[in-house]
Structure 1
Amino acid sequence: MATHTTPTIRPTTAAAVVPDVKPLLRRPAVEAATGESRSTIYRKIERGLFPKPVCIGRDKNGNASQTGWPAHEVAAINAARIAGKSDEEIKKLVVELEAARTIGKEA
């Protein structure tokens, strides 16, 4: 007598399909995650205390029309602030985070 087994169906997650996903946060989510206003975030970017956003969309003229921040970068800045890092240490961290974006990128 043949036995019939039901195949196991496993739920598919984004991590299973694309294991190296690094989520991007739009500005309102960054504001919520940091507790900072839009103007404070951009002032910190100008001072080198927060990473620049990455382009995630362009308009018909090729200008960046949509931007976001890698979630791990926002988390790293938050962790550094919580740890009491100085502004100079934060600036070094920002340089490292932004430099890491190009690692493995083909020229």
Structure 2
Amino acid sequence: MGAAEKLDLSGKDWLTVEEAAHYCGVFNSQFRKNALSYGLKPRRFMGKQLYEKAALYAAIEGAEEWQRFDSTDAAQRPISTGRKAVSAFVGPLGNLTPVRRREFVPRKKPS
């Protein structure tokens, strides 16, 4: 299905992988990779993987809440105590600037 197509999920109790990913608000690949870790077990029916809509809702409902840090939460933010990494950016090409590693030594003697 194309990205521009709208999926009609109303009235459906069982959803395909594409519909389930859309319902959860994630990409298909992310859904396929992480569905089992959330306890979502697909059913095989007529060659399709189907997910129960109620199980998807329960998985979303049981997931941990999003933690948002505001400027008022500055005291709770972790503080980095390590050294800062030196920037490797040298110019517009960054690390792609050619650097001679050793002095050029010709292989053949001049004739």
Q: TM-score range by the shorter chain?
A: 0.3 to 0.5
Greater fraction of residues in helix = 1
Q: Report the TM-score, using the length of structure 2 for normalisation.
A: 0.42
- Name whichever structure is richer in strand by fraction: 1
By relative contact order (CA 8 Å, sep 6+), the higher-ranking structure is 1
